[in-house]
Amino acid sequence: MARPEFEDINPSTEEVIETYEGHETGEVIDAVEKADDAFDGWSDRSIEERESLLADVAEVLRDNTDEYAETMTREMGKPVSEARSEVEKCAWVCDYYAERAGEHLQDDRIGTEPGARTYVSYEPLGVVLAIMPWNFPFWQVFRFAVPYLTAGNVGILKHASNVPGCALAIEEVFDRAGYPDGVFTTVLAETDAVEPMLEHDAVRAVTLTGSNRAGSAVGETAGREIKKTVLELGGSDPFVVLDDADVDEAARVGARSRNLNSGQSCIAAKRFVVHQDVYEGFLERFVEEVEALNVGDPTDEDVDVGSQARGDLRDELHGQVRDSVEAGAEAVVGGEPLDREGYYYPPTVLTDVPDGCPASEEELFGPVAAVFRVSDEDEAIDRANDSPYGLGASIWTDDVERGERVAGRIKAGSTFVNELVKSDPRLPFGGVKKSGYGRELGRDGIREFTNRKTVWVQEAGE
């Protein structure tokens, strides 16, 4: 079998940047075994040592922010200003766990009987396989790697095939920070190498962020092998605007939430559910905000929306828009690929979206907003919940008690009142329904891939 090659294409110019030589399946298995060999020495280190190295990772990221940001922009079209913010967020998650990992992993003392000392300890599992997407090519990796490695696990990264430069750069970050060989390893491998890795005895857990199809395949293999999984599988997040909302602020934040990362975000606002009393005013302001976005070369500091990451992804998005319009939706802004070099799709707003069309039923992974009119609060909640996904939700109201009540009725992994949905190192992140299961970040995230071991120590003679 020929050695795999990965062609690195700049999506804003369609030019080939570089061709990377990938790893064959045998080399991938060698990497797994090398990681397994590194596990004992790494897990035996004190938590203080691992926290100290993590602080060094943050320093490497900050010292090389521009370099890493430019790599992201070149490979997947992210506006360079957002790419720099992504590197800074990766440094932030390092800071957080460098300070709090020991606290989150300390034993939980639980009283049981006289003469017995009983507690739960949190011990690392071993080799964790991570299958990561291209849309936040640094953040998605650091979101898993920082807590899991600091807990004492070792990691193997199988990154998306269109961001090989980012994948190798991340491995270099840990090398520069002084991590031992084998603790974090990148493999440039085809999808068919995933199953042999999952079936290897050394791999004890897998985390995947990606499509439902990929999640189902990985979950099936991991289930057969009885291995722990965390799956984050996308979303179609509702953005609920109630009748007492600040329409101007909701429109401003909503336009930003929908179009961050050129619209290619799992937690972007995708379905705008608007009370009929403020529908016209919100739509007018929302369209103004969307039309004001600057679309262009992502290396330009003033650009808000760059290209889509790949040509096939842009074409798939346009197919969903076209099918929705043919079903009765109206594109009041955008709706056609831009006639220019690169994989550009304009910020688009769809109204009068009928049930059953892609904009209503599917995740639109690009800068396309679907706006729905509802008659009251109950209908807004029903519409928000009418999705196979349940990642995040945003609710807008001047009455925060009302907002909190509505947030409690929406089926999602996270709900935000008068704020866009976002991940934060201090808080657990993950979804329900077809958005996946398990949690990353916060205390819950660092404990996901640990053995929660019960220890009972009885005094002699008791």
Residues catalogued as catalytic = 232, 266
Question: What are the counts of helices (DSSP H) followed by strands (DSSP E) for the chain?
Answer: 15, 20
Distance CA 334, CA 314 (A): 13
Helices 400-409, 377-385: crossing angle, 10 deg rounding: 40
Cβ-based neighbours of 246, under 8 Å, separated by 6 or more: 396, 398, 418
**CA gyration radius, the chain:** 23
Q: Give the strand pairing for 348-351 and 368-374.
A: parallel
Say whether 450 sits in a helix, a strand or coil.
Answer: strand
Q: Classify strands 368-374 and 414-417 as parallel, antiparallel or unpaired.
A: unpaired
224's CB contacts (< 8 A; 6+ apart) are none
Residue among 270, 32, 44 nearest 152 (CA) = 44
> Per this entry, what is the length of the chain?
462
Rounded Cα gap, residues 371 and 374, in angstroms: 10
